[in-house]
Amino acid sequence: MNLEKTYDPSAIEGKLYTKWLNKKYFHAEVDRTKKPFTIVIPPPNITGKLHMGHALDNTLQDILIRYKRMQGYNALWQPGTDHASIATEVKIIEELKKEGIDKADLGREKFLERAWQWKEEYGGRIIQQLKTLGSSCDWDRERFTMDEGCNKAVEEVFVKLYEKGYIYKDYRIVNWCPECQTTISDAEVVYEEQAGHFWHINYPIVGSDEMVEIATTRPETMLGDTAVAVNPNDDRYKHLIGKKVILPIVNKEIPVVADEYVDMEFGTGVVKITPAHDPNDFEVGKRHNLEQINVMNDDGTINENGGKYAGMDRYEARKAIVEELKNLGLLVKIEDHVHNVGTHDRCKTTVEPMMKLQWFVRMDEMAKPAIEALKSGQLKFVPERFDKTYLNWLENIRDWCISRQLWWGHRIPAYYCDDCGQIIVARKADAPAKCPKCGSAHIHQDEDTLDTWFSSALWPFSTLGWPQKTEDLDYFYPTDVLVTGYDIIFFWVIRMVFSGIEQTGKVPFHTVLIHGLVRDSQGRKMSKSLGNGIDPLEVIDKYGADALRFTLVTGNAPGNDMRFYWERVEASRNFANKVWNASRFMLMNFEQAGEKGISIDGVQLSDLTQADKWILSKANTLAKEVTDNMDRFELGIAVQKLYDFIWEEFCDWYIEMVKPRLYNDEDTTKAAALWTLKTVLIQVLKLLHPYMPFITEEIFCNVQSEEESIMISSWPVYKEAWNFSEDENAVETIKEAVRGIRNVRAGMNVPPSKKAKVIVVSENEGVRHIFENSRSFFATLAYASEVLVQEDKDGIGDDAVSAVIEGAVIYMPFAELVDIEKEIQRLEKEEERLNKEIKRCSGMLDNPNFVSKAPEAKITAEKEKLEKYTNMLAQVKERLAALN
């Protein structure tokens, strides 16, 4: 049994992680004798590196999986990475540009070769970083969203949904990035507040001298207007319904339609309808059978439908159109307007809503069972407030655009006949050699790939072998808990739920544990632009993985954001040192006891003292409470209880209580003290292990030899035999007395080295019995030269100071606490100093020049000092009077 003098995480963490891997402790195989518990990792992008969000997310998962593993579950934490189609493609294009190579010139096949090379070189980087954090994933099962098994699952789902009529190809509004020239998902659109304008424009009414005023933030899209709309209940405009207006610049007539989509209170109450460039307008256009005119090219320039503006960049066209409207006298006014603008999170380009021919998933039917899963209780969110977010999104869901104009990703399994245009959707093994409609052999596959979220939506079951009916799938699916941040609840969680139900008939997990963001110390979101991101690996390098993990969980409540402070990491490291030093103290005493032939073998509960039973009973209750908290996913509350118990009850109280017994070779209860120390230490190490796996493993393997790893040891359970409530109450009485004594001594500036007689007076025989039984450690904790326990105040002088507790009064002779002559001298010097300070403050505040010229803060500070010194002087005089 040996622990280094100083706790050095860098010396133990890598060594222990290698041991765990070699021993296959993380690996799970189907075992029908055990109940499974499964978590799937939110697969990090192969482009990514560990950030604080990853650190928090994976720490929470690791806590749960380690906890369940120790409880005896067959625990599987399924790891893997996501191909991150657009993020990876952007990275590779950047590399190619540095080499002077254009993606188009390279060609698809050569580009994909480069992509796979990039994946092999950089794709595993974040996995190694997760290992540094201590993540106990089953790395033997590591998956990738574009591996062979996931490819088959994606292809199978696409074909099945197409055959069912749930996947279709059509013209609809999508998020279009003019820079990357692809559709992007809602998850990749970041809304930023930008300063813009409302341009108010008059549209002339046909056959009248009247004008109708509209307001728009995107004047360039008016080139594609096919109507203006008013609310049918708006009395101001009822007379216009059915009439036509002249679209300025384009000079064509477009109808005035009535639609309840129009907000009468917003703007002028009249809106331009551009079905090809706005999702709401698109729906209005469908209701009124309006023409859809796209006026933009893929690169954000105006196309041939824009007439004389064709070829111009969208923002150049905006300026030119505004200028022409001004010249035509149709520009009413320009208002400043701050609004949310969607930008692509990768390239920061403003996203253009555009109508494109794309592949979509029909969502109305698939959303229904996902809604029912929550309402029926098959699925629950922790905390419950995210139910509303989930339901709101599903109940207002739009069809999902799943095609991307990229090369890296799952290529859409759709084939086209070049001669007759027939579309054939088929699995790769069944790819058509000729058209089933016209017999042509001129067939080509769709160039587009699928949205990354399409494959990650299948993650809980595709990683377990689906669509094959594997043993793993049957045993480990559905999974149990999904841990993720609230920022991707819509994009990933919901898609996994409806995909899981649709493909397997089962909800993919029963609980979704939602955590918040890790913000900087000022509460700001960590970002590259602010330069306030903190590298978890830097924290680990400086303080160790355990300290980082402990910091991320302490004070953490489900769904809430947290702030990162370096001071808190320092405090976590200090806590680790406390545990380490307490363990070394115990080992040192075990070694010394062994040299003297003292053994803990054969110690019975009946051998324990009151103090032993107190700490054992407290540790017993702690196990029950921590287990209850963890089962409710209150991980932050559980770890705070552990912290308080280990630091205060175990280290600051119990260890101090047993020192007199450990240092006395004649004490017959020494073995009981050692047994209790070891038993309670092992108990708390096990409870702490999911949070701080490395330090607990190192200590555990040094303080006992019965088990080879804390990872595979059993989780502590409440034992009725360890319930010593009477002894708990007794020791709590002792602690109350010690606190009272220490407060009195502190108030009198008595150093701990100054011993004094302590007299416990109580009419209650039970209370007296408590102090008589605890005399040895009570004397140590109370800095007592002698402890007397009596029924009345006989023999106690009038000069004794006292501390009152429930059922007793504790007395200490004043003369034993304080050298009266020295204390009088000290207080007289303090009186002199305070009088000088009061005179100085009063002089400044009575000086008209100071009061009129000094800053208000300085005057306030001096007033506060005067009040403080006056109060202190009164206390000093009171003490002097008592002493004299």
- 528 has binding-site annotation: yes
Contacts (Cβ under 8 Å, ≥6 apart) of 724: 613, 614, 616, 617
Give the pairing type, strands 801-805 and 808-812: antiparallel
Let me know if domain 190-340 sits in CATH 3.90.740.10: yes
Contacts (Cβ under 8 Å, ≥6 apart) of 741: 758, 782, 783, 803, 810, 812
Q: Is residue 615 a contact partner of residue 654, using CB atoms and an 8 Å limit?
A: yes
According to DSSP, the residues that pair with 212 across neighbouring strands are 203
Burial of 542 (0-12, 13-18, 19+ CB in 10 A): middle
Structure token digits, residue 9 = 């995480």
Distance in angstroms (rounded) separating the CA atoms of residues 754 and 106: 85
31-166+366-389+450-515 CATH: 3.40.50.620
DSSP E strands: which ranges in 345-395?
A: 352-361, 380-382
According to DSSP, the residues that pair with 810 across neighbouring strands are 760, 803
Sign of torsion, CA 435 438 441 446?
negative
Helices (H) and strands (E) in the chain — how many of each? 30, 29
Distance in angstroms (rounded) separating the CA atoms of residues 635 and 647: 18
Structure token digits, residue 720 = 């009725």
Give the pairing type, strands 808-812 and 331-344: unpaired
Q: Is residue 288 a contact partner of residue 279, using CB atoms and an 8 Å limit?
A: no
Burial of 436-450, coded b for 16+ CB within 10 Å and e otherwise, reads eeeeeeebebbebbb
Distance in angstroms (rounded) separating the CA atoms of residues 444 and 690: 53
For residue 612, give the nearest of 783, 772, 789, 730 by alpha carbon: 730
Domain extent listing, the chain: 1-16+521-723, 31-166+366-389+450-515, 190-340, 413-447, 728-818, 821-883
Distance in angstroms (rounded) separating the CA atoms of residues 807 and 61: 48
pLDDT along the chain (884 residues), means of 10: 88 97 97 98 90 94 98 98 91 91 91 93 91 98 96 97 97 93 86 88 94 94 96 94 95 96 91 95 95 95 95 95 96 90 86 95 96 97 95 92 96 96 94 94 96 96 97 98 88 94 98 92 82 91 97 91 92 97 95 91 94 97 98 97 97 94 91 97 98 98 94 97 94 93 87 91 92 89 92 84 88 83 80 91 90 88 90 82 73
- The single-letter code of the amino acid at 121 is E
Tokens 């008209």 correspond to what residue?
848
Q: Is residue 553 a contact partner of residue 691, using CB atoms and an 8 Å limit?
A: yes
Superfamily of domain 1-16+521-723: Isoleucyl-tRNA Synthetase; Domain 1 (1.10.730.10)
Residues in the chain: 884
Q: Is residue 691 a contact partner of residue 549, using CB atoms and an 8 Å limit?
A: yes
Burial of 588-604, coded b for 16+ CB within 10 Å and e otherwise, reads ebbeebeeeeeebeebe
Residue 329 carries which DSSP code?
Answer: T
Structure token digits, residue 157 = 């789902």
In what helix (H) or strand (E) does residue 75 lie, and over which residues does it extend? strand 74-78
Burial of 191 (0-12, 13-18, 19+ CB in 10 A): exposed
According to DSSP, the residues that pair with 482 across neighbouring strands are 512
In what helix (H) or strand (E) does residue 190 lie, and over which residues does it extend? strand 189-204
> Could you tell me the end-to-end alpha-carbon distance of the chain, in angstroms, rounded to an integer?
58
Structure token digits, residue 757 = 């007689």
What is the Cα 296 distance to its own chain's centre?
A: 40
Burial of 384 (0-12, 13-18, 19+ CB in 10 A): exposed
Distance in angstroms (rounded) separating the CA atoms of residues 614 and 379: 42
Please give the pLDDT value at position 1. 58
821-883 CATH: 1.10.287.380
Q: Is residue 730 a contact partner of residue 610, using CB atoms and an 8 Å limit?
A: yes
Sign of torsion, CA 646 648 654 660?
positive
According to DSSP, the residues that pair with 483 across neighbouring strands are 513
Q: Is residue 715 a contact partner of residue 70, using CB atoms and an 8 Å limit?
A: yes
Q: Is residue 320 a contact partner of residue 329, using CB atoms and an 8 Å limit?
A: no
pTM of the model: 0.88
- CB neighbours of residue 771 within 10 Å: 22
Strand order across the 380-382 sheet: 380-382, 511-515, 481-485
Cα diameter, the chain: 118
CATH class of 728-818: alpha beta
- 50 Rama class: left (phi>0) / alpha (psi -120 to 50) / beta: beta
Distance in angstroms (rounded) separating the CA atoms of residues 149 and 85: 18
